[in-house]
Structure 1
Amino acid sequence: MTPCTLARQSLRGGDVTRWDLGAACLEHWDGSPLDDRPPSHDQLGRLHEDPDGSNPWSAWIGLSVLLPDATIDSVERTLTEWFRQHESLRSHLTLIDEQPRRRTLAPEHVGFTPFALGEHDPEALRELLSHEFHIRCRPMRQPACALFTVEVEHGHVLHAAFDHITFDGLSAYAAVGHLAGLHTAVVNEVHRPHTSPSHVDLAATEIAVCADIDTGDERLRPWQDFLRGGGIPGAPAESGIDPEGHYDHDLVRHDICSGDVAATLALQYSAEGIPTGMLWTAILMQALGDDVHVLMSTHGRPSSLWSDSVGWFAGVAPLSLSMPPGCDTSDWVLAGVRAWREVAPSAALPLGLVHRLLDVPISPQVVLSIIDGSRIAGHEWWQPLGSSIQLGDVPTSSQTHIWLTIVPEGVTLATRLPLAPGARDWLDAVADRFARLVESAAATPFALQQEVPA
């Protein structure tokens, strides 16, 4: 389940239904008292990016999943229960005189209304979803998402997209299995309502905690080192990507290795206490070059209790690896583990706060996200239910975002690549080196010669 664009997603046609919150629900929402819990730093930045929903780009995150044996009634009950469970989906943020305002809908007032849109073939469906996701997935929309189902032979396929203000990558991956499981429980009359830990509460905690952070905080030191050149380091020079450039992007996929090769490699290193995520990160950074600087995406959830919570939890940490030529993969992995131990706490500091405290421009360049499917509840549903993750468009920039997805079927890179001259050739070469390094490392027994930091 590698991220892709809606334009490249395989779709199935059928009778389409749009799902909207009912008029009574929206009246309750508008009449709700002001919620004094503030937005997170990232959410506030997103509000200012697109205050009126008129930006020509819409940074939505989408998912598709088959709901077997679904009916209009079972879909309605599933979406209602899901919105009731996740406060972030029913907490509306706006800017009034440049100040954020929040109103949160009580769970008991959630109710969906289906609107039949008729038969659509795959291309008509693609056009519909592209248009509706672009319009509806905006930070101040109420709600900031778009929900559609398509009736197919074995049920209904749910197509959903969400503005980043209320959704992150892990929210999408976790939601696929969660929605499928929730629907199964609803159909079999065994669902028991509950509420997941709320991103709205965590955002309020973030703001309260960050208010007491100053430039003496130890977690700022990795950021100070990372930004010593006056900003976030750019992509390797070989990429041809100018850090000051404004490029259109393409989402490029590379298959790296089979599931068997990935399992062999992970087993060798996990036996020595090397975390799987850091293993793959270090080898990818080795493929990128001898002196590599990235923002490492983190899930941002306080504990496993928040694993199925929906919201913009994800943060980033500054990670640099500079190795002498000729170092082998085990050297890179051990160096990566040591470096990560030092910088990981810095992910707790939002980029907006880092910018304010250090007064250095913060423009992300190379961002790495690792998705290890085996660690996400419900991943067993992904392939049987034809699930997928889609990404909306982004503004022109020099940012390169790389998603490394590890699933039983294999390991894949999806790269949102700035279209600088020569960048695609560079990326193809990186992916080829990465694949060869992985194959070689899997075929080479690894014996720990140095102590791994606890």
Structure 2
Amino acid sequence: MRQFPLEMHTLAPGRVVEWRVRSTAAQATGPGGAAGRRASFNQDKHFTVAEESRGADDPVASWLAVTFEVQGPLDEQALAQALLALVRRHEVLRCEFRRLAGELACEPLAADELALDAVPVGDFRTTELLRAFLAERFRRSIDTLSWPLFTMGAVLREDSATVYLAFDHIVCDGMSMPIVVNEVLTAYEALCRGEHSALPATAPSYLDFAEEQRRRYLSIDAGDERLGYWKSFIARNGEFFPRFPLDLGVEPDRMYPIVNEASPLLDAGEAEVFDKSCLAVDGKPFMGVLAAVALSLREAGGPGVYRGFMPVSERGRDGWSDSVGWFVNTMPIEFDASPGRDFAQVMAGIRAGFGELLRHIDVPFVRAWELLAPQEFAARSWPYPVNFFSYIDMRKCRGAERHEDWRPASHVWSARANGACSWYQRDADGLHMNSIYVDTPAARRTMGDFQEALRETVRDIARSGGFRRPIALTAPRRPLDAPVRV
């Protein structure tokens, strides 16, 4: 399973059907009265940005989606039951968010009052028409301020089907996607055999996680000793956000259309050797990828000390491993990757830096941002291009042993950006990269050079067990083009 743009998906044409969720209550007006639940810090910030951008007639649009395959003629009734079970099982998918007295409430609808309606959409005769429809459908149907916060459907053919689900980030994260695939297909296959799903009716709720997080951190102030890790990072970095160290050709306070692209870095055999090279120096594969990123940035003109943001899953604690939600804390990490340090030394620095990060993971990113950088927190986006690294080993996800049959893929999209974000996925087929960055001439050159340098670096590590040589850019630097017109 890997992440790549929806526009790269080789979807076969077919007949599209969607299943739309509704309440069966006598008055289906959404939750009413005083809300007993409150949104998480991530959700509150996300919703606030959507509110403010809508009020300024400058909507911020994005979505996360997953697609997967069903072999043979689709049993539409069985799939509908499996999709409904998913929505009922995960409380966060049943939430309608409302602003109450300044706080964001998320009282969920009752699971037993939800139903699905099958809605025929139409026949799509070409892959191009189908992809265009899905991209437009996701863009128009995913609205942070309106429930439901997801859309579900399938592309039906005589001998197969492609199922799709797209979500607003407020109800899920990247690690939710393989959970969705596993639950829907496990339940679907059981129903097709005439059996009931073995999954419990409800999963541990993200709303409980959010409640505990708010209880512990809503009342802290900037002087709280638990912010010491962040303050130490800021003191060395000079500011709250670690800047992306290469030129993207962006102007201050301006958002740009995006480039969304993906490519392989290592095939299955190369990735296996790469993993062993990392283990040989007492490191993990994600640390090896991060070391390669740091070296590639440095050789392209970045600093010797790597500083960046890294999303870290919070599912591993307290039984949240099978829950859908936004279980991500974004944390700063830094380590020495200066010239002269070999692979083992850089990996040792990453290991120490990551260990320090984990000791302070409880403090929510959004709360640290609000308290330590209040001026930037008031804005609707990060203030400038930020150095960002994300890695997921899809082989460790629930249901990974069936991915060859199910062929799942995840997709992310954003309308605009002011920097660059890269995600790395390891699966049975190798190591892959998906990047979203600003569509400027400088950014296209910079990211092209960086990606090629990174590809050569990870291959060097796989071939020789370390950094073999400095990385040369694929082409000499040229003067920046004129500013792009948007």
- TM norm structure 2: 0.84
Q: Unpaired runs of 5+ in structure 2?
A: 299-303, 467-486
| 2:106 maps to 1:102 | yes
Match of 1:407 in 2: 427
Aligned-pair CA distance for 1:327:
1.6
Number of corresponding residues: 445
Please name the residue that 1:387 is paired with: 408
- What are the superposed Cα offsets for residues 151-209 of structure 1, whole Å, 9 maximum, x if unpaired? 12334321110001001111113322332222112222141341211111111111101
1-structure distance, mates of 2:31, 2:338: 62
How far apart are residue 225 of structure 1 and its match? 3.3
Matching of residues 42-121 of structure 1 within 5 Å = 42-51=42-51, 56-69=59-72, 70-96=74-100, 98-121=102-125
Cα distance, 1:31–1:100 mapped onto 2, change above 3 Å: closer
- Structure 1 distance, partners of 2:459, 2:104, is 51
Q: Which residue of 1 aligns with 2:228?
A: 221
Query: What's the counterpart of residue 365 of structure 1?
Result: 386
Corresponding residue SS for 2:165? strand
Aligned residue among 320, 333, 337 for 1:323: 337
Measure the CA separation in 2 of the matches of 1:142 and 1:25. 15
SS across alignment from 2:167: strand
Structure 1 partner of 2:475: none
Superposed displacement of residue 144, structure 1: 0.4
Please name the residue that 1:449 is paired with.
none
Match status 1:299 vs 2:313: yes
Q: Equivalences for 1:8-407 in 2 at 5 Å?
A: 8-22=8-22, 24=24, 27=27, 30=30, 34-51=34-51, 56-69=59-72, 70-96=74-100, 98-121=102-125, 122-188=127-193, 189-194=195-200, 195-228=202-235, 229-240=238-249, 245-270=254-279, 273-289=282-298, 290-303=304-317, 305-360=319-374, 361=376, 363=382, 365-398=386-419, 400-407=420-427
Partner Cα separation in structure 2 for residue 75 and residue 44 of structure 1: 33
Which residue identity does 1:82 align to in structure 2? L
- Contact 2:92–2:324, Cα closer than 8 Å, also in 1: yes
Q: Is the 8 A contact 1:58 1:163 kept in 2?
A: no
Does the 8 Å contact 1:15/1:118 carry over to 2? yes
Name the residue aligned to 1:436: 456
**What is the Cα deviation at residue 56 of structure 1?**
4.0
Pair 81,163 (structure 1): closer, same or farther in 2 beyond 3 Å: same
Q: Using the alignment, how far apart are the partners of 2:41 and 2:31 within structure 1? A: 26
Q: Deviations 1:389-411 (Å, cap 9, x if unpaired)?
A: 1112243323x111011112111
Measure how far apart 1:117 and its partner are. Answer: 1.9
Quickly say closer, same or farther: Cα 1:325–1:272, change in 2 above 3 A: closer
Deviates more, 1:36-45 or 1:135-144: 135-144
TM-superposed CA distance for 1:427, in Å, is 2.0
Quick one: structure 1 residues 241 and 328, their matched pair in 2 at CA, closer, same or farther if it must change by over 3 Å? farther
**Contact 2:390/2:423, CA 8 A, preserved across alignment:** yes
Point out the more displaced range, 294-303 or 196-205.
294-303
- Give the percent of matched residue pairs that are identical in Structure 1 and Structure 2: 22
The more displaced of 156-165 and 185-194 is: 185-194
**How much does 1:145 deviate?**
0.7
Describe the shift of the 1:193–1:320 C-alpha distance in structure 2 as closer, same or farther (beyond 3 A): closer
Extract unaligned runs of 5+ from structure 1: 447-454
Contact 1:215 1:357 in 2 (8 A): yes
SS at match of 1:227: helix
CA distance, structure 1, for counterparts of residue 399 and residue 198 of structure 2: 18
Amino acid at match of 2:69: L
Q: CA RMSD in A?
A: 2.6
In structure 2, how many angstroms separate the alpha carbons of the residues matched to 1:197 and 1:298? Answer: 19
TM-score computed with the length of structure 1 as normaliser: 0.90
Q: CA deviation at 1:353?
A: 1.0
Paired amino acid for 1:395: R
Alpha-carbon offset, residue 218 of structure 1: 4.7
Distance 1:56 1:178, change over 3 A: same
- 1:9 deviation in Å? 2.4
